[in-house]
Amino acid sequence: MRAAGVAGLVAAAAIVPAAAFADPAGKSTVEETIVRNSGGGYVELKRQGGESHVVRSELAKPKSGRAARRSSLLMFAQVTDPQVVDEMSPARIELVDPAGAPLTAAHRPQETLGPHAFDAVVRNLNANRTSTIKPGKGSRGKVGFAISTGDLADNQQRNETGWVRTILEGGRVDPFSGQVISASNPCASATPEQVNALNQAVASRRYTGVQDYGDYPGVTPDTRYGGFWDPDRAAPTAGGLYPAFPRYPGLLDRAQQPFTAAGLNFPWFAAFGNHDALVQGNAPASISLIQSFSVGCLKPYPTQGLDPASVAGQTESQIFARLTDPAFLGQLLAGGRLVPPDPNRAFLSKSQFKSALGSADRNHGFGYQSSKVKQKTKGAMGYYAFNPRKGVRMIVLDTIAEGGGADGNLDDPQYRWLESELKANRDHLVLISSHHTLETMDNTTPDEEAGACTATLTVGCDADPQKSTPLHQGQKGKANVQSLLLKYPNVVAYVNGHTHRNEVIAHKKGKTGFFEINTASHIDWPQQSRTIEIMDNDDGTISIFGTILDSAAPVKAPAPGVPASTFSNTQLGSLARTLAANDPQSEATTDGVDGRGQRRDRNVELVIPDPRD
What are the respective helix, strand and coil percentages of the chain, to the nearest 5? 30, 20, 55
Residue 505 lies in a domain: yes
pLDDT in tens, 293-350: 899 999 999 988 888 888 888 876 777 777 767 777 777 777 889 999 999 999 999 9
Non-local (6+) Cβ contacts of 162 within 8 A are 344, 356
From CA 189, how far away is CA 186, in angstroms rounded? 9
Q: Is 563 helix (H, G, I), strand (E, B) or coil?
A: coil
Asked if residue 145 is part of any domain, the answer here is yes
**Would 248 be classed as within a structural domain?**
no
Average pLDDT score over residue span 258-271: 98
State the CATH number of the domain containing residue 153: 3.60.21.10
Question: What is the dihedral angle through the alpha carbons of 122, 127, 132, 138, rounded to the nearest 10 degrees?
Answer: 100
Domain containing residue 354: 6-88+104-170+261-279+347-580+604-609
Q: Rounded mean pLDDT of 195-213?
A: 96
Residue 475 lies in a domain: yes
Give the bridge partners for 394, in sequence order. 386, 431
What is the reported pLDDT for 10?
A: 34
What three-state secondary structure class fits 163? helix
**Mean pLDDT within 453-469:** 93
pTM of the model: 0.94
What value does the mean pLDDT of the chain take? 91
CB atoms closer than 10 angstroms to residue 586: 19
| Number of domains the chain is built from | 1
CA atoms of 219 and 302, how far apart (whole Å): 8
Residue 613's pLDDT is 81
- Average of per-residue pLDDT across 288-294: 78
User: Which ranges of 335-480 would DSSP assign to H, the alpha helix?
Assistant: 350-356, 360-364, 371-376, 412-424
Note whether residue 237 is domain-resident: no
DSSP class of residue 215 equals G
- Sign of CA pseudo-dihedral 2, 7, 12, 16: positive
Report the amino acid identity of residue 550. D
For residue 98, give Cα distances in angstroms to 104, 109, 299, 332, 410: 7, 12, 18, 15, 33
pLDDT of residue 17: 38
Q: 160 lies in a domain?
A: yes
Please check whether residue 325 lies inside any domain of the structure: no
Could you tell me if residue 287 is inside a domain? no
Strands of 422-470, DSSP E: 429-433
The distance in angstroms from the start CA to the end CA of the chain is: 66
Which of 433, 402, 403, 438 is CA-nearest to residue 418?
433
